[in-house]
Amino acid sequence: MDGASAWRGAAFAALAMISTAQAAAPATTLHARPPHELTADEFVARLNRELGELVIERESAGWVEDTYITADTELLAAKASERLLGYVSQAAEDARRYQRQALSPATARALLLLRQGLSAPAPRDAAKRAELARLGARLEATYGAGKYCEPAKDGAAAAPCQSIDELSAVLATSRDYAALTEAWRRWHTISVPMRADYARFVTLANEGAREFGYTDLGAMWRSGYDMPPEAFAAEASRLYGQVAPLYQALHCYVRERLARRYGAERVAPGQPIPAQLLGNLWAQEWGKIYDLVEPYPGASDLDTDGALRAQHYDAVRMVKNAEQFYGSLGFPPLPASFWQRSMLTRPRDRDVVCHASAWTLDLKDDVRLKMCAEVDTESLKTIYHELGHLYYDLAYQDQPLLFANGAHDGFHEAIGDTITLSMTPAYLERIGLVTGASRSREATINQQMKQALDKIAFLPFGKLIDEWRWQVFAGEITPANYNAAWWALKRKYQGVSAPLPRSEADFDAGAKYHVPGNTPYTRYLLALILQFQFHKALCNAAGYHGPLHECSVYGSAEAGRRFRAMLAAGASRPWPETLEKLTGTRRMDAAAINEYFAPLAAWLREQNAGQRCGWDG
Ligand code: X8Z
Ligand code: ZN
């Protein structure tokens, strides 16, 4: 799947197009010869073929595990992972013999990508490999099945257990301090049982990464960006530094509004904001508290949630809405199998991993979406996000497997979000989800605030998750201070504090899907910055002149053509080249996101004048 466990980035999609007939003949020839007799080109051709079969098997097992969590599906998923991990370890070992040979650029790149495709490589030791695969599957299932069940009191019937749906809904809608704190606490009980498994998982995956030639798993993750790992860490910090001032301004304004609601003794000037007050279990996106911070009440109608409900949207219709947008750019309709095989809403009868993800099961056209959609704008945007992954997979399906991936993982995460930037009030009015869209200054600031609560608020979160994991993998954070270090980073970057006293009996990082799911997270920080660069480039291609935040590329064939050309290149070239083709620059850069939010930035400066912004480190 894209953005999840087995492979970094898109599950090495697309190898695929190997129909059995195509695959059979060369496989037999090559199989008959031991690896040391193959030329590097032959070796890569064989990898592209064999890896595809194993990835397909793992994706099928992963799909069933995630959509039908039981002990059996967990076991089958672990077995399929184990086989893939074993194959990649052996292949990486075999590939060493080509190290000193002169290779074509494409072959050299394929061998480089082979070593970077896994999000957790296994040790060569078979028992350890099996254990790593089991732990990965168990962490995934434990998160997916996680719920809070109140212990039954004497004589009373047990209350129904609460899943992430109910607890998220409390965080989004309640404005009662105690209720918010309690819902937050409940969700953070689900990760306690993961703590020991996670620590062992880290030990084993690090061992695998070292055998692959990296200092630890964090260094391996940081090596996936066509630059040395140290340079990448510096690059991520540079990019974050470009946007941190805007985050700090938003934080200052929101804190002041929350203090009005909850009292200055709970939300104090110069102090971090209690994490349960921001509308989201992880305080990662704050859009749900828009009503508490709306700059100009009544200046605009941005209630798309209400419109979706009033117009009786359901999950299928929301996906059709997204498909229609992509169609307006020249993307193809989703195949019939998408509609038959996707899981769009939470099934009533079984545990599933509700965290949204995009899958390409046969690495060709069998694309699927797995999510538990609600009828609201957040789900609608998630659908656009996931369709971005699927259209990327479809676009590069003719690349050899090792190139059938995003230019880097941040590209993969940015595609659908780029499209959502075109869901301007004018576009939403056109499709009937907003009435009387206004371009007044007040309406613009309202709209920008709404966007910033999700996009700008996310930035420090996008930075800190892997900051924590990089230090965990490097041994700088140990199980003895997992939780203390987590909250130190939450405080440093987000300026939020733990709702309740925490201890090392807790494992709060594990309550965020990507930690048990072992999905690298810096990709989302990169995606946030890149999506504005892509948006600007597409607006230029569409011939748009005007403020960036008012541009929608809906219906532009030329923007669609340029976008699809980028997607089709997959990972075949180093990402700066791919970026340059679309945007004219080889660097990721926050200038476009800052340009987009310029009206809000100026407004926040006025609002925050005289405030004590920032927080004690
Ligand atoms: O995990 C996701 C997607 C799947 S790749 C739903 N996202 C991150 C998250 O939810 O934490 C999208 C935004 C950030
Ligand atoms: Zn994603």
Output the pLDDT for position 12: 34
Output the pLDDT for position 4: 39
Region of residue 570 (left: phi > 0; alpha: psi -120 to 50; beta: else): left
Instruction: Note every long-range contact of 599-603, with CB atoms under 8 Å and residues 24 or more positions apart, other chains counting.
Output: 599/441, 599/444, 599/445, 599/448, 599/547, 599/549, 600/445, 600/448, 600/449, 600/452, 601/246, 601/249, 603/295, 603/445, 603/448
- Whether 144 is in the pocket of ligand 1, judged by its Cβ within 6 Å, is no
For residue 60, the CA-to-ligand 1 centroid distance in Å is 21
Nearest CA to ligand 1 atom 8: 524
For residue 141, the CA-to-ligand 1 centroid distance in Å is 18
Output the pLDDT for position 158: 83
- Whether 163 is in the pocket of ligand 1, judged by its Cβ within 6 Å, is no
CB within 8 Å of 190: residues ≥ 6 apart: 142, 143, 146, 147, 148, 510, 511
Q: How many helices (H) and strands (E) does the chain have?
A: 24, 4
Range from 6-10, 385-389, 406-410 carrying the lowest mean pLDDT: 6-10
- Whether 107 is in the pocket of ligand 1, judged by its Cβ within 6 Å, is no
- Pick from 49, 41, 33, 14: nearest CA to 95: 41
Nearest CA to ligand 1 atom 5: 3
Among all ligands shown, which has an atom nearest to the Cα of 521?
A: 1
Output the pLDDT for position 437: 84
- Residues 65-90 have pLDDT tens digits of 999 999 999 999 999 999 999 999 99
pLDDT of 321 > 50? The answer is: yes
For residue 524, the CA-to-ligand 2 centroid distance in Å is 8
- Whether 357 is in the pocket of ligand 1, judged by its Cβ within 6 Å, is yes
pLDDT band with cut points at 50, 70 and 90 for residue 32: low
Contact assessment for residue 416 and residue 389, using Cβ atoms and an 8 Å cutoff: yes
CA dist., res. 599 & res. 24, Å (int): 59
- Pick from 232, 288, 289, 233: nearest CA to 260: 289
- Pick from 459, 421, 462, 413: nearest CA to 553: 421
Looking at residue 159, the DSSP 8-state letter turns out to be: P
To which residue do tokens 């080889």 refer?
586
For residue 193, the CA-to-ligand 2 centroid distance in Å is 26
CA dist., res. 235 & res. 241, Å (int): 10
DSSP calls for 288-314: GGHHHH-SSTTS----HHHHHHHTT--
Q: Average of pLDDT values for 423-438?
A: 92
3-class state of residue 577 by DSSP:
helix
CA dist., res. 126 & res. 532, Å (int): 45
Nearest CA to ligand 1 atom 6: 356
* CA-CA-CA-CA dihedral for 397, 402, 403, 407, to nearest 10: 120
For residue 575, the CA-to-ligand 2 centroid distance in Å is 18
Contact assessment for residue 222 and residue 489, using Cβ atoms and an 8 Å cutoff: no
CA dist., res. 257 & res. 250, Å (int): 11
pLDDT band with cut points at 50, 70 and 90 for residue 360: very high
- Whether 524 is in the pocket of ligand 1, judged by its Cβ within 6 Å, is yes
3-class state of residue 359 by DSSP:
strand
Query: Hey, what are 304's tokens?
Result: 């798309």
Query: Hey, what are 178's tokens?
Result: 């105690």
Among all ligands shown, which has an atom nearest to the Cα of 406?
A: 2
Query: Which atom of ligand 1 is nearest to 357's Cα?
Result: 4
Output the pLDDT for position 130: 98
Looking at residue 37, the DSSP 8-state letter turns out to be: G
Output the pLDDT for position 29: 41
- Residues 44-59 have pLDDT tens digits of 999 999 999 999 999 9
pLDDT band with cut points at 50, 70 and 90 for residue 34: confident
- Whether 416 is in the pocket of ligand 1, judged by its Cβ within 6 Å, is no
For residue 462, the CA-to-ligand 2 centroid distance in Å is 13
The amino acid that residue 281 corresponds to is: L
Q: Which of 355, 412, 454, 464 to mutate to test the pocket of ligand 1 (most atoms within 8 A of CB)?
A: 355
For residue 357, the CA-to-ligand 1 centroid distance in Å is 8
- Pick from 293, 243, 285: nearest CA to 267: 293
| Strand bridging mode 273-274 / 496-497 | parallel
3 CB neighbour count, 10 Å cutoff: 27
CB within 8 Å of 113: residues ≥ 6 apart: 402, 403, 405, 571
For residue 168, the CA-to-ligand 1 centroid distance in Å is 15
For residue 611, the CA-to-ligand 2 centroid distance in Å is 37
Query: Which atom of ligand 1 is nearest to 356's Cα?
Result: 6
Among all ligands shown, which has an atom nearest to the Cα of 513?
A: 1
Q: Which of 369, 385, 411 to mutate to test the pocket of ligand 1 (most atoms within 8 A of CB)?
A: 385
- Whether 515 is in the pocket of ligand 1, judged by its Cβ within 6 Å, is no
For residue 383, the CA-to-ligand 1 centroid distance in Å is 11
Q: Which of 119, 372, 382, 384 to mutate to test the pocket of ligand 1 (most atoms within 8 A of CB)?
A: 382
pLDDT of 28 > 60? The answer is: no
Output the pLDDT for position 151: 84
Nearest CA to ligand 1 atom 7: 524
For residue 94, the CA-to-ligand 2 centroid distance in Å is 32
CB within 8 Å of 600: residues ≥ 6 apart: 445, 448, 449, 452
Give the CB-side neighbour count of residue 160, counting CA atoms within 13 A: 4
Query: Which atom of ligand 1 is nearest to 355's Cα?
Result: 6
How much of the chain, in percent, has pLDDT values that exceed 70?
A: 95
- Whether 356 is in the pocket of ligand 1, judged by its Cβ within 6 Å, is yes
Query: Which atom of ligand 1 is nearest to 382's Cα?
Result: 6
- Residues 243-288 have pLDDT tens digits of 999 999 999 999 999 999 999 999 999 999 999 999 999 999 999 9
- Whether 382 is in the pocket of ligand 1, judged by its Cβ within 6 Å, is yes
For residue 84, the CA-to-ligand 1 centroid distance in Å is 25
Entry pTM: 0.95
pLDDT band with cut points at 50, 70 and 90 for residue 164: very high
pLDDT band with cut points at 50, 70 and 90 for residue 129: very high
pLDDT of 9 > 80? The answer is: no
Nearest CA to ligand 1 atom 13: 524
For residue 416, the CA-to-ligand 1 centroid distance in Å is 11
Among all ligands shown, which has an atom nearest to the Cα of 355?
A: 1
Q: Which of 469, 524, 526 to mutate to test the pocket of ligand 1 (most atoms within 8 A of CB)?
A: 524
CA dist., res. 477 & res. 471, Å (int): 5
Query: Which atom of ligand 1 is nearest to 524's Cα?
Result: 14
CA dist., res. 366 & res. 1, Å (int): 12
Query: Hey, what are 342's tokens?
Result: 């996707």
pLDDT of 609 > 80? The answer is: yes
- Pick from 336, 341, 337, 399: nearest CA to 18: 399
For residue 382, the CA-to-ligand 1 centroid distance in Å is 8
Nearest CA to ligand 1 atom 3: 356
